[in-house]
Amino acid sequence: MRLADKRILLGVSGGIAAYKSAELVRRLKDQGADVRVVMTHSAKEFITPLTLQAVSANPVADSLLDPAAEAGMGHIELAKWADLILIAPASANLMARMAAGMADELLTTLCLATPAPIALAPAMNQQMYLNAATQANLNTLASRGILLWGPAAGSQACGDVGPGRMLEPLELVERCCQQLAAEPLLAGVRLLLTAGPTREALDPVRYISNHSSGKMGYAIARAAREAGAEVTLVSGPVALTTPADVTRVDVESAEQMHQVVMSRVGECDLFIGCAAVADYRPEQVASQKIKKIGDNDQMVVKLVKNPDIIAAVGALSAKPFTVGFAAETVDVEQYALDKLQRKRLDMIAANDVSREGQGFNTDDNALTVFWQGGQAPLPLADKLTLARQLIALIARHYRR
């Protein structure tokens, strides 16, 4: 009964996945939750309010302007009642209206009026999910702290195959259990995290860098904050929004990142080195823009090694619990295990960035996490989902 005494408001929007909502209600109640259901008008085309009333043992709300409801559990009272609002399925239309801040029916109004966390389980055709407008709406909602649970990928009712399937009821129940756990997984833990690329200047105009977008590191920062950690994010140059309640320190070069990390690492309990730090930098940085000289088709740049940040943290006599990353293109496991041993890491997350659709500059990733005497694969998923899985795994080993 992991959800005993927890109050979950389940929002159901219009989509074929609404048929799973009845099963979801039953599974939530199996864990002890008190469940109330709010339906959009289009949701009633797929499943009846009577069905959800029967399985939840509570009246189903579907009207913003219901005088009887206003006398009891009106939209403000219902918004205050919930410990968590879960919308499953969350259609593209509903998410667009939420992103616009609309309060045009009961469910969208509740989302504006509630102090409770809101989780969305997207469900739609794969092309609708991948559409730029839908992705922009998802990014907007995520930047406001709304939890995005899924979607999964696979066969769809329309016959397409791809991302857009609603997560299965049991997985959503597990997410609810984690979200409403009595004590967050990393409550009180001070996390220092690096993310993004570094830029190594050649002159005032040009630099050497890599393809890292910072998305994985920023997802980890958000997941760790959700898990209760006090997060300081040391970020290379990226075009990302800082996750809510995360302290961000911006740097450009590997040397700057090294200085910031070493000045703060003594104050942290957990260190995660997710940044794609340049291994080398130019020995000399020109004070003016380098010009092409005559017919010379070559330019020689001498590089020197940058400080190894993760190794420097691992070498500390009183080091924090230290997690590294290994982005490789071949022999991923071999290189990751070597790095784990050589740099005195507690864990390392390895990924094959040569695979299409994962790694640098993508929204999805897959990891294999190694530690002394064990490993765990984290299959391909969106980076926030993957980050939450990684944080849960780190928390289990950190607490030992």
177 is catalytic: no
Distance CA 172, CA 179 (A): 10
Residues sharing a CB contact under 8 Å with residue 175, sequence separation 6 or more, in sequence order: 119, 147, 149, 167
Annotated ligand binding at 307? The verdict is yes
The single-letter DSSP state of residue 19 is G
**Of 154, 31, 43, nearest to 88 (Cα)?**
43
The dihedral through the CA atoms of 353, 354, 357, 360 has a sign that is positive
Task: Give the C-alpha separation, 196 to 212, whole Å.
Answer: 6
Distance between CA atoms of 295 and 309, rounded to whole angstroms? 41
User: Token match 């797929």: residue?
Assistant: 46
Pull the structure tokens for residue 31: 């864990």
363 labelled ligand-binding: no
Rounded distance, CA 198 to CA 250, Å? 10
76 is in an annotated binding site: no
Q: Is the dihedral of CA 38, 40, 43, 45 positive or negative?
A: positive
Secondary structure (3-state) at 330: coil
Has 310 been labeled as part of a binding site?
yes
**273 annotated among ligand-binding-site residues:** yes
Cα angle, residue 118 at apex, residues 272 and 153 outer, rounded to 5°? 70
From the candidates 111, 158, 176, 268, which is the catalytic residue? 158
Is 274 annotated among the ligand-binding residues? yes
Q: Both ends of the chain: CA-CA distance in Å? A: 24
Instruction: Give the whole-angstrom CA distance, residue 138 versus residue 152.
Output: 15
Residue 268 labeled ligand binder: no
Contacts of residue 378, defined as CB under 8 A and 6 or more positions apart, other chains included, come to 349, 366, 367, 368, 369, 386, 389, 390, 393
Share of the chain residues as helix, strand and coil, in percent rounded to the nearest 5: 35, 25, 40
Please state, in angstroms and as integers, the Cα–Cα distance from residue 165 to each residue in 132, 159, 393, following that order.
Answer: 18, 12, 25
* 29 annotated binding-site participant: no
**What is the phi-psi region of residue 368: left when phi exceeds 0, alpha when psi lies from -120 to 50, beta otherwise?**
beta
Binding residues: 273-275, 279, 289, 307-310, 325, 339, 343
* Residues identified as active-site: 158
Binding residues for CTP: 273-275, 279, 289, 307-310, 325, 339, 343
